Amino acid sequence: DIQVTQSPSSLSASVGDRVTITCRASQSISNYVNWYQQKPGKAPKLLIYGASSLESGVPSRFSGSGSGTDFTLTISSLQPEDFATYYCQQTYRFPLTFGGGTKVEI
Amino acid sequence: EVQLVESGGGLIEPGGSLRLSCAASGLTLSKAWMSWVRQAPGKGLEWVGRVKSKTDGDTAEYAAPVKGRFTISRDDSQNTLYLQMNSLKIEDTAVYSCTTVNYGYDASNIWGQGTMVTVSS
């Protein structure tokens, strides 16, 4: 199975900060990475698919990059509503796997 | 607007069976690729399985921990997706959500609110 390692597992940031979350795959997965945001008690929300394509309706302060084994999700200017847990997911090969999550806190 | 509503969760003893439902509105389920994802209490997301649309072959893939025990199916007349869960284990305890799958990257773009399954004696 392809392992997906997210880092950091949590981070503290302030409104206006630039935040970067990393996802590393155990083997090359081309650009088959999706990113999700989950708030407590809510269903996850798709932010980025195909490593860098922004889902419709998602603010442009979210961006994704990377290919091969290393991927990043960047929030250019953190807003109050962005405090949440973020997950990457590899969809290159079955079984599909999620990273362990990154909790973004104040 | 596409909406997914799961139901069928509850408390079940180890070894038991349960069938979860995912009622879809705003889309024709037979034409959709769908997945199930679960989340154990306080834990991260875990992919359970995915089924292609009927037009694309209606085949399913499953995660190793559930393969052979869980089956995804659908009832086109009810526009409902199912997850049949047999031989349930304590570690299957989780909120189960159905999602639509899109964009050629198996991206789960629409999620239901989830239904809780508790496996306990």
Q: How far apart are CA A9 and CA A22, in angstroms?
A: 10
Contacts of B56 (CB under 8 A, 6+ apart): B33
pLDDT, tens digit (0-9, with 9 covering 90-100), for B97-111: 999 998 789 999 999
pLDDT, tens digit (0-9, with 9 covering 90-100), for B69-83: 999 999 999 999 999
Nearest CA in chain A to B102: A49
pLDDT, tens digit (0-9, with 9 covering 90-100), for A13-48: 999 999 999 999 999 999 999 999 999 999 999 999
Q: Would you give the distance in Å from CA B93 to the centre of its chain? A: 14
Counting Cα atoms < 13 Å in the Cβ hemisphere of B91 gives: 4
Of B40, B39, B47, B45, the residue nearest B65 (C-alpha): B47
Cross-chain Cβ contact A98/B45 below 8 Å: yes
Q: How far apart are CA B92 and CA B106, in angstroms?
A: 23
Nearest CA in chain B to A86: B44
pLDDT, tens digit (0-9, with 9 covering 90-100), for B17-33: 999 999 999 999 999 99
B100 interaction partners in chain A (CB closer than 8 Å): none
Q: Tokens 């997911």 appear where?
A: A89
pLDDT for the residue numbered B104? 85
Q: Would you give the distance in Å from CA B108 to the centre of its chain? A: 12
The interface residues of chain B toward chain A in range 17-56, judged by CB-CB distance below 8 A, are: 37, 44-47, 50
Contacts of A61 (CB under 8 A, 6+ apart): A75, A76, A77, A79
Of B113, B49, B109, the residue nearest A50 (C-alpha): B109
Total beta-carbon pairs less than 8 A apart between chain A and chain B: 62
Mean pLDDT on B58-70:
96
A21 interaction partners in chain B (CB closer than 8 Å): none
Q: How far apart are CA A15 and CA B52, in angstroms?
A: 41
Q: Which residues pair with B45 in a beta bridge?
A: B39
The answer, for B62 touching chain A at a CB cutoff of 8 Å, is yes
Q: How far apart are CA A65 and CA A72, in angstroms?
A: 5
Q: How far apart are CA B90 and CA B16, in angstroms?
A: 11
Nearest CA-CA distance, residue B24 and chain A, Å: 16
Does residue A61 have a pLDDT over 80? yes
Give the three-state DSSP class for A7.
Answer: strand
